[in-house]
Amino acid sequence: MLHFLSHLTFAKLGLILEAKDSLYLPPYKGSTFRGAFGHAFRRVVCVTRRTDCATCIARSACLYVRVFETPVPEGVQFSGSKAPHPFVLEPPPDRGRTFEPGMLLRFHLILIGESAISCLPYFIYTFDTLGEIGIGRGKGKFRLKEVRDVLSGDRLLYDGEQGILQGDPVCFDPERDTERTPNPGKEVTIRFLTPARMKSRGKLVTPETFDSRMFISQLHNRLFNLALFHGGKVGLDRRWKEEVEPLLDGVQVAERDLHWYDWERYSGRQETRMKMGGIMGTVTLQGEIAPLWPLIRMGEMLHVGKASSFGLGQYVIEA
């Protein structure tokens, strides 16, 4: 069951930034960091300085293309326009807008797949570079103070003072995780911490139209595509009808306390403001949870829905 999950590996890192200037940031910081990070990453790894990646001679070996414009291999059945990014930026939960010099910002960076994990030094150097460029209104500068390995108990991986990477991060172990977090039986409550932006049949899912079938389908689609593109197994078979569809009628929404959270981000690429609202709040699923538990648990760590690389679609499983 859910065989593709065995191909998913990831590392979770805690980044601590220290403001050098006054930083002026929006309440939801995921989009700001994601956009600035993309520009800085390209600046760090691009060797040709071309504006058009599609015609670049170095495209096939480019780290920027691998991370931000992952190509769809020939022969792979994929209905989306773009492959999912192999990373997630979980922004600071602090909704504060001003950070004075010396104040700290903490957030998580999740690297998905061995290819992305092996690029950790480039990710770290990119944040060092981004700190020198500046971020937010006024381009306030910061320094990368520490990087810690969350899955090994916050072990120090990188000290910004020394500038040395101390070993490799620990990758997620599904067997050990199962021992630590046994399935909850017949009921599970999920709390969305950041807006979950999901679409079903071309329409955005609202608090009123949210249902268990749609949620499980969204989870399956995201996690399968991550395994397909970043799990090292290009020939994965989706096996939706055999593995998942028969399980959907066994789970229903028992309770919901959901609301719509609206916010906007500015897209530098499209030069326009974009609405990025989504569902927040809690929902309780009831029924035959056990067969779907690995999917729900993995989604808790890798998010669900659109714009996950911004940190959208983050949820926690409540006891």
With tokens 């910061």, the residue in question is 142
Res 7: pLDDT? 83
| Mean of per-residue pLDDT scores for the chain | 88
Res 271: pLDDT? 60
> How many CA within 13 A on the CB side of residue 13?
28
Distance, CA of 250 to CA of 317 (rounded, Å): 19
Other CB atoms within 10 A of residue 55 CB: 8
Which two tokens mark 107?
Answer: 């957030």
Domains of the chain in sequence order: 10-165 (no CATH), 174-318 (3.30.70.1900)
Res 179: pLDDT? 65
Res 272: pLDDT? 65
Res 196: pLDDT? 95
Please work out, in degrees rounded to the nearest 5, the angle formed at the alpha carbon of residue 42 by the alpha carbons of 48 and 152. Answer: 135
| Cβ(299)–Cβ(317) below 8 Å | no
| Cβ(226)–Cβ(84) below 8 Å | yes
Res 234: pLDDT? 60
Amino acid at 94: D
Ranges under pLDDT 50 in the chain: none
Which two tokens mark 155?
Answer: 């072990």
Note the pTM of the prediction, 2 decimals.
Answer: 0.91
Please work out, in degrees rounded to the nearest 5, the angle formed at the alpha carbon of residue 71 by the alpha carbons of 69 and 75. Answer: 160
Distance, CA of 165 to CA of 24 (rounded, Å): 29
